[in-house]
Structures are given as C-alpha cells and as structure tokens.
C-alpha cells in the first residue's frame, strides 16, 4: 500500500536518500493516506510514566517486537533477502535503520510505503507475527522496487493500480487465500488468482486515494494484463506451502540480486 502525493518529490529521492525532501509536503490530509499513519504527520508525544503504571505503555513493547521481527526477516527470510538484493542491484540499497520504520497505525492497515522519505512502514499494532511482518515487507518492498526502477508516479492512477497489482500478485494471493476471501469457487478456479489480485489491488487503492470504486476498477482493468505478467524481481508467483521463496532467492544470483 502506498500513501503519499509525489508532486514535490525530487528525482534523487528514488535513490538511497539520507535527506528529507527539499520541498515541504502537506501531510495533514486523508487523500494520500496519512490519516491511516498518524506518526507520519505529527510528532508522537512521550508516553507518560502513569501509562506504564496503568499498563498502557504496550505500544513501545510492540514496537520493539516489530523491530526484532524485521531484523530476523532481513537476516533469515529468503524472499526479503531477494528483495534487498534486487533493490541494491537497481541502485537503491536498503539500510534497515533508515528505510524501515515500525509505527502505530490505523487499524485498517498493516503497512505502507512512503516514497517521499523512501521508507517502508510496518504497523506494529497490527503486524505482530513474524510471518505477517515478512508479508508486509515483501508487499511494500515491491512498491519500493517499482519506485526505484520503473519511474513510478503515484499521482498517476494507472501507475498506482499497476504497483498494487504487482504487490498483490507477488506477495499475497494463493488459491487458499482466494477461497477464504470469497474470490473463487469450484466453478471459476481458472480465474482464482486473477480475481484475488484484482480485489486486493482494489482494496488497497480505495484505502489510500479519494477515488470512486469505478475509477479504481477501470484503472486496474486498463493495466492488468501487463502488470499481472510482470513478475520482477521474483520471477514467479509464490505458492502457499511450497519452497518457491527459497527457489526465487537461489535464482536471484543469476540476475545479480545479491543482498550482501
């Protein structure tokens, strides 16, 4: 999921940026999703001691747990390591301290990508298990990869639809998840994966843009075939309960995707 207006994003921010944008960006607007990520638009006040005494300081423990989960994914997850290698080879190396942020978010989302700061957000209050953190990292790093390598313009609704299609395609949908979500039945198994991808992309687009459902659907349909068949940098769709993640990581070396 992505959530900002790129009108004022300098070209250099697509690389490994250590500086904030030179032009201020208005973050106090729900149009670009900042209502879902409150820590993106205001400084969070220190937690009073009374909150700890009354048991209300759990968000700090959640943040630490999230950061540990992210670190383990960086060190142990083959698919996250593949994305790190792909980003590095594309000229956008990822620094875990600079480009990944565990934050408290709205209950509707588990993560996001902020291209203004070139930063992936993991919602520590909604993504607590390591498997969920891995999925969020993969989804958002697909957006980061598209932004780095494909000159992605998030103001363009077709560009947004394309990257959401790719993220859903590579990071989320499988036969089982589609069945659980009601995207398929015994009568339309052939379209199972495509239906799941379209529905996931639609949900993500509506969550972060002030557009109608028809506008989002039309954008998805315009770009679907091309973006659905673009499997970079994984080279495959990941099947549940398979070793596809390990295979994708092992194949990455042939394309120069080395994370270290």
Confidence category of residue 128, pLDDT binned at 50, 70, 90 = confident
Between CA 252 and CA 231 the distance in angstroms is: 13
Q: Is the model's pLDDT at 146 over the cut of 60?
A: yes
100 bridge partner residues: 120
Residue 17 resides in a domain: no
The mean per-residue pLDDT over the stretch 109-127 comes to: 90
Burial of 210 (0-12, 13-18, 19+ CB in 10 A): exposed
Between CA 204 and CA 168 the distance in angstroms is: 9
Between CA 138 and CA 134 the distance in angstroms is: 6
Residue 21 resides in a domain: no
Residue 129 resides in a domain: yes
Residue 51 resides in a domain: no
Express each pLDDT in 88-112 by its tens digit. Answer: 999 999 999 999 999 998 888 889 9
- Three-state secondary structure readout of 173-207: CCHHHHHHCCCCCCCCHHHHHHHHHHHHHHHHHHH
Q: Is the model's pLDDT at 249 over the cut of 70?
A: yes
Write out the H or E segment, with its range, that includes residue 121.
strand 119-123
Burial of 42 (0-12, 13-18, 19+ CB in 10 A): exposed
pTM exceeds 0.85 for this model: no
Quick one: pLDDT at residue 23? 27
Residue 95 resides in a domain: yes
Residue 5 resides in a domain: no
The range of the structural domain enclosing residue 219 comes to: 27-43+56-255
Residue 206 resides in a domain: yes
Q: Is the model's pLDDT at 54 over the cut of 90?
A: no
Query: Catalytic residues, which ones?
Result: 140
The count of domains in the chain is: 1
Residue 162 resides in a domain: yes
User: Which residue did the predictor score with more confidence, 45 or 86?
Assistant: 86
């Amino acid at each position: 999921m992505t959530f900002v207006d790129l009108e004022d994003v300098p070209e250099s921010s697509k690389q490994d940026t250590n500086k904030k944008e030179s032009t201020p960006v208005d973050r106090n607007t729900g149009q670009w999703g900042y209502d879902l990520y409150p820590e993106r638009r205001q400084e969070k006040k220190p937690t009073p001691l009374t909150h700890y005494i009354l048991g209300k300081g759990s968000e700090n423990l959640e943040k630490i747990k999230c950061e540990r989960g992210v670190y383990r994914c960086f060190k142990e997850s083959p698919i996250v390591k593949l994305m790190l290698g792909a980003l590095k080879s594309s000229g956008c190396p990822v620094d875990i301290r600079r480009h990944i942020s565990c934050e408290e978010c709205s209950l509707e989302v588990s993560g996001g990508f902020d291209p203004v700061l070139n930063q992936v957000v993991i919602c520590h209050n909604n993504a607590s298990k390591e498997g969920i953190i891995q999925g969020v990292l993969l989804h958002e790093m697909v957006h980061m990869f598209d932004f780095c390598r494909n000159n992605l313009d998030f103001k363009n609704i077709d560009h947004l639809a394309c990257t959401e299609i790719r993220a859903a395609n590579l990071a989320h949908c499988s036969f089982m998840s589609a069945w659980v979500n009601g995207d398929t039945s015994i009568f339309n198994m052939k379209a199972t994966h495509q239906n799941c991808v379209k529905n996931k992309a639609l949900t993500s687009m509506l969550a972060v843009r002030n557009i109608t459902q028809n506008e989002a659907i039309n954008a998805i349909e315009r770009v679907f075939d091309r973006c659905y068949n673009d499997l970079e940098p994984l080279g495959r769709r990941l099947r549940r309960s398979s070793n596809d993640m390990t295979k994708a990581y092992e194949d990455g070396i042939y394309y120069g995707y080395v994370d270290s």
